[in-house]
Structure 1
C-alpha cells in the first residue's frame, strides 16, 4: 500500500503556496488543482487518497487572517479526497490536526 503525502511541498514547488505560513488555502481557492494532484498521486500508484488538511489548524489559519474558514477548509479537503477515492476505487484517509481545529459544538 502506498500513501502519498507531500501535497503542501508539491504545491509550493508548483508556485501555488508560499513558504512560511504553509496554509493549504488552495483547498478553498482552487479545489480543481487539489483534486488533480490527488489523481496524480493515484496514477503514480498510491492506494490511499490522503485529504489535504496539513496545517489547516487554528494557529496557522490565524497567521493568514482566515481562522474563520477553519471548518470549511477541513471539510472541503475531506470531501475532495473522498470524491477522488470513490472515483478511482482507492481508499481515503483524513485527519484533523492535533490542534483545536474545529469550532466547539
Structure 2
C-alpha cells in the first residue's frame, strides 16, 4: 500500500477580503469532496486560513492538481503574496509508518 501524503497550506487573505475568501472555500470543498480524502480548515487568530489534508496517494494529488490550481487562480486577487510572489505557504510529505490516530492498517 502506498503511503498517504499530508499537505498543510496556509492562505493569507488581503485586508477586507476575508469574507469573500471564506465564501470561495465552498468551491474548494466541492473539489475536495472525495470519499478517500480527509481534510479540514482552521482559522488562525491572525486571520490566516490553514488547510490540512490527507490524500491517499501521490497519484490522487496529481489527479486533483488541475482543479486545485484553477481554484487558487480564481482567488488570486483575494490573497496576499510573499516577496517571491507565492500566494500560499505550503508543506507536504509522506505519512510515516508509525502508529497514529489517522492511520488505517489493512
Q: Fold-level match, TM-score > 0.5?
A: no
From the two aligned structures, give the one with the greater helix fraction. 1
From the two aligned structures, give the one with the greater strand fraction. 2
Instruction: For CA contacts below 8 A with separation 6 or more, give which structure has more relative contact order.
Output: 2
Normalising by structure 2, report the TM-score. Answer: 0.30
Normalising by structure 1, report the TM-score. Answer: 0.30
